[in-house]
Amino acid sequence: MTIPAAWWAGLSPIVARLADEWSLALGERFPTGGTAWVAPARGPDGADLVLKVVWPHPEAVAEAAGLRCWDGDGAVRLVAATRVEGNDALLLERCRPGTPLAAMPEPDQDVTIAGLLRRLWRAPPPGATFPTLAAMCDLWAGEFEAKVAAGAVALDPGLAREGAARWRALPREDSERVLLATDLHAGNVLAAEREPWLVIDPKPHVGDPAYDPLQHLLNCPARLHADPLALTRRVAGLCGVDADRLAAWLFARSVIETPSWPELAGLARRLAPG
């Protein structure tokens, strides 16, 4: 996902307005590679904070709502939120020292990621409206199917159809419906003082908890490609989700991601049902 250059070019007055409204002293922007402008900030009371301006895209619309729901339980605390010219702006607790979990050995990452996910999974509060996992999957499937029609997918057509069909079907099957992070991996978990590790940059949706370990699996490519089912079983056990269901999600996502992540084609073939 590439942020348009025009969005970056128009940020300066938005950031200045936010700094004025929230009386912030801003530091130099963090060199993040994600879909937001993020910088350290000092509040009027001296609080150590982070200002985040999010590029508008469907997956990120509920970040503030999710952080309010979690209220610091395993995730960074939301201090304030507003919308400026169609952009969501979040004022967040800062993690110190902020070392990414990705600096730890992957088996340790497994344990920490699973523990955080199990804390984040909860029923949304009454009256809350969050985007659904099914809606996100439909969007991704539609984009994938357009690429298949354009001849841009290096997969057997039958495998591509099966993967897209499973991707659409899985979030609609009978399963628990909880608040998900959807993009939780070791780069989005930082060392902090309030807790050993805190989640940042969630993309909250409501749906099947067996979906949520996927990004961590995909971010462990050596172990994943060496023995995908062994890693799936380990992480499923730590998370308390069904290993077969997690494997089904992994197959479907490997198919869907193949156009931009070609090395997943072999994984999709290995995980294909039957």
Q: Could you read off the pLDDT of 124-162 as tens digits, one per residue? A: 988 888 999 999 999 999 999 999 999 989 899 999 999
Nearest to 191 by CA among 84, 80, 109, 88: 109
Nearest to 96 by CA among 18, 34, 42: 42
Cα distances (angstroms) measured from residue 158 to each of 31, 90, 135, 269, 273: 41, 44, 24, 11, 12
pLDDT of residue 154: 87
Q: What is the pLDDT of residues 23-46, one digit of tens each?
A: 999 999 998 767 899 999 999 999
Helix, strand, coil shares of the chain, percent, nearest 5, are 45, 15, 35
Q: What is the pLDDT of residues 49-108, one digit of tens each?
A: 999 999 998 888 999 999 999 999 999 999 999 999 999 999 999 999 999 999 999 999
Which pLDDT band holds residue 176 (cuts at 50, 70, 90)?
confident
Q: Is the per-residue pLDDT at 175 higher than 80?
A: no
Going across the sheet that includes 78-84, the strands are 25-26, 36-42, 48-54, 87-93, 78-84
pLDDT of residue 33: 64
- Give 11's contacts (C-beta < 8 A, 6+ positions apart): 37, 53
Contact 163, 268 (CB under 8 A): yes
Q: What is the pLDDT of residues 250-272, one digit of tens each?
A: 999 999 999 999 999 999 999 99
Q: Is the per-residue pLDDT at 2 higher than 80?
A: no
For helices 228-239 and 106-120, angle between their N-to-C axes, nearest 10 degrees: 40
Q: Which are the catalytic amino acids? A: 183
pLDDT of residue 158: 95
pLDDT of residue 93: 98
Pairing state between β 205-207 and 178-180:
antiparallel
Nearest to 198 by CA among 72, 106, 66, 49: 72
Enter the pTM of the model: 0.95
Contact 177, 42 (CB under 8 A): no
pLDDT of residue 71: 97
CB-side neighbour CA atoms (13 Å) of 141: 19
Instruction: Tally DSSP H helices, then E strands, for the chain.
Output: 11, 9
pLDDT of residue 128: 87
Contact 77, 190 (CB under 8 A): no
Handedness of CA 151, 155, 161, 166 (dihedral sign): negative
pLDDT of residue 274: 77
Q: What is the pLDDT of residues 240-249, one digit of tens each?
A: 999 999 999 9
